[in-house]
Structure 1
Amino acid sequence: MSGQTPSLGDQVVLITGGARGIGAETAKALAARGARLVLTDLDRAALDATAAEIGEDRCHAVVADVCDLPSMEGAVQTALARFGRLDAAVANAGIASYGSVMYTDPAAFKRVLDINVLGVFHTARAALPALVESQGYFLVVSSLAAFAAAPGLAAYNASKAGAEHFANALRLEMHHQGVKVGCAHMSWIDTPLVQDAKKDLGSFNELLGKLPYPLGRTTSVDACVKAFVKGIEKRQRHVYCPGWVRGIGLNRNVVNSAAGSRAVLPHVPDILPRMDAEVAALGRSTSARNIANEHDPAAAVDPQE
């Protein structure tokens, strides 16, 4: 295949975390442009509902765990068997945990890193042979959190910074093989991840209000989807949503400097203990949705599905 970027109508795209939120809505937007989709997630019911809305002729759902390499390899093989090729993969699956480093559940902290970093690796490892064949595109979903740290979200911050630098390394490795690698950085998007945190923790809502403008602003899923679709279509090196996130990335050293921390530091002694107390009262350091996906028998991994 030539180095010319194919139209979206010619492309087959795999999206992890495709059951709801950014993954699901991006899939719908791509399908409307003519792309064919393979969606993976652990939430079978939501995944099947999204695939049904798109249509079986254009979308195939695979229950697969990004923490398990054979599972992701099975998902890629399903894409190849169903549609004959793979042109782009979006490592979108991600979760967050709540609470300070001193008190957060270590298992929840590890789970965030497993999904948000190892999950990206497993998705890349499974998809790259097919993307080399198609001279395709791999998009790593990082976050504004990779640029600007927030108290009580250390696992998420660390994982998204790790995902960004993974993308940087992968881009260097894959350039000579014709695979383009992009990295997406978004502010807080109005997805189930953010909605669940706001519902669970009053302290989280207050924290967003204390972050320097515009770091605490929440952006619509629709705006994020438009940025993702453009990024996939143009095979962009960077995807930012909203556009001001790029400026935060360029000035991350200032944002994380002693001067940049002054706006948040006075509020930490009050907000962080209250967040830890709320997490203790919940009896969990992540959303109820994440807990359900980990333990629901219907979400069992089937790489051959």
Structure 2
Amino acid sequence: MSSTLHGKVVLITGGANGVGAQTARELRARGALLVLTDIDRTTLEATVAELGPEHTEGIVADVTDLTSMEAAVAQAVTRFGGVDAVVANAGIASYGSVLNTEPEAFYRLIDINVNGVFNTVRAALPALVERRGYVLVVSSVGAFVGAPSLASYTCSKAGVENFATSLRLEVAHLGVDVGSAHMSWIDTPMVRDAQSDLPAFREMLKSLPGPMSTVTTIDECGVAFAEGIAKRRRRVYCPEWVGVMRYLKPFLDNPISDLVMGKRSTAAIIAIDQQIASLGRSVSARFTEEAKAEEAKAEVGGPRSSDDR
């Protein structure tokens, strides 16, 4: 795939809204053809209509189901003749300390954020090899820095960063390039849900030092992703300062840092857990409703569902 995106086919999981949809808008502005997968049919159809059905294929697919993703890739190849790039973007977050997080919420997050990346990449690789394409695995600054009350999320994002690194070595001889994307707080539904649900999270966010307390616009994130895909970058950072955290990781993971962070965050951890107990859930209301829908589908033998950021 050359540096130009005109006419290139890009498949994005979790493409109906949030970072996935904004990346799709930026790619379409640069002439790319789009394949968007999501479980939210209504929002997906609206996004496809916005981008133009003649340039965009919307597919209801479940990243936690390899067969579903294989069918989505096959549909993309049938519609546009192949796939040039894949953005493994679908993901969720959960709230609370390990002691208080609902175990099922943790398992579900790993299924979507980690297994979903594997299923997406595994399904798409044959098509990508054929076109010497590019994979962008969406990780986070959380891959570099642990955060209290976000153990499940940072665990998943560190995992997929290392997945991308291993994958890069495996497919380089096949002409496929692999990158990982790392963002701080982005103004997505996922972050807004946390701010709405948890006043203690809002206060903790405000207390973070320097740029770490800033919520970046989704427009900026979409531009960073589109440029990263066009240039087949090894790393995509949004904002750019996130890249510094990768090199600071050894200095942040030490007893002194633990002591400082522990003193700063203890009150917030306790408050967040109390607020989660009051909510009666450790994920946003959107994800709770989708989990119920998943259970209902399972009872009647229907397809499982997943979530997007």
Return the match for 2:163 from 162, 166, 185: 166
* Map of 1:90 onto structure 2: 87
Report deviation, 1:253: 1.3
Q: Give 2:98's match in structure 1, choosing from 101, 105, 114.
A: 101
1:227 aligns with 224
Per-residue deviation, residues 125-156 of structure 1 (Å, max 9, x unmatched): 00000000000000000000111111101000
Aligned length: 300
The whole-number CA distance in structure 2 between the counterparts of 1:290 and 1:238 is 29
Secondary structure in 1 aligned to 2:166?
helix
Cα-to-partner distance string for 1:262-299 (whole Å, 9 max, x where unaligned): 44311333111211111111111101111223334799
Counterpart amino acid of residue 121 in structure 2: A
Give the alignment's TM-score, normalised by structure 2.
0.93
Question: 1: CA distance between counterparts of 2:68 and 2:101?
Answer: 29
Q: In structure 1, how many angstroms separate the alpha carbons of the residues matched to 2:110 and 2:213?
A: 23
Aligned pair in 2 of structure 1 residues 46, 197: CA closer, same or farther (>3 Å)? same
Verify: 1:74 aligned to 2:74, yes or no: no
Kept in 1: contact 2:195–2:202 (CA 8 A): yes
8 A contact 1:63–1:301 mirrored in 2: no
| CA positional deviation for 1:208 | 1.5
CA-CA distance at 1:43 after TM superposition: 1.1
Residues 302 and 262 from structure 1, CA distance in 2 versus in 1: closer, same or farther, beyond 3 angstroms? closer
The answer to whether residue 276 in structure 2 is matched with residue 282 in structure 1 is: no
Q: Which residue of 1 aligns with 2:124?
A: 127
Distance of 2:107 and 2:304 partners within structure 1? 23
Q: Among residues 55, 60, 64, which one is paired with 1:63 in the alignment?
A: 60
1:44 aligns with 2:34: no
Q: What letter corresponds to residue 280 of structure 2 in structure 1?
A: G
Q: Give, in angstroms, the shift of residue 211 of structure 1.
A: 2.7
User: What amino acid sits opposite 1:110 in the alignment?
Assistant: Y
Q: Residue 24 of structure 2 corresponds to which residue in structure 1?
A: 27
State how far apart, in whole Å, the 2-side matches of 1:198 and 1:171 are: 35
Deviation at 1:16, TM superposition (A): 0.4
- Please point out which of 127, 151, 154 is paired with 1:154: 151
- Decide whether aligned partners of structure 1 residues 302 and 34 sit closer, same or farther in structure 2, where only a CA change above 3 A counts: farther
**Deviation of residue 301 (structure 1)?**
4.3
Q: Which of 262, 266, 271 lines up with 1:269 in the alignment?
A: 266
SS in 2 for 1:138: strand
Q: Aligned partners of 2:218, 2:254: CA distance in 1, in Å?
A: 30
In structure 2, the residue matched to 1:242 is: 239
Return the letter of the residue paired with 2:136.
L
* Contact 1:42-1:301 at 8 Å conserved across structures: no
- Identify unmatched segments of 5+ residues in structure 2: none
Structure 1 portions without partners, runs of 5+? none
Paired residue for 2:138, among 136, 141, 166? Answer: 141
On the 8 A contact 1:212/1:264 being kept in 2, the answer is no
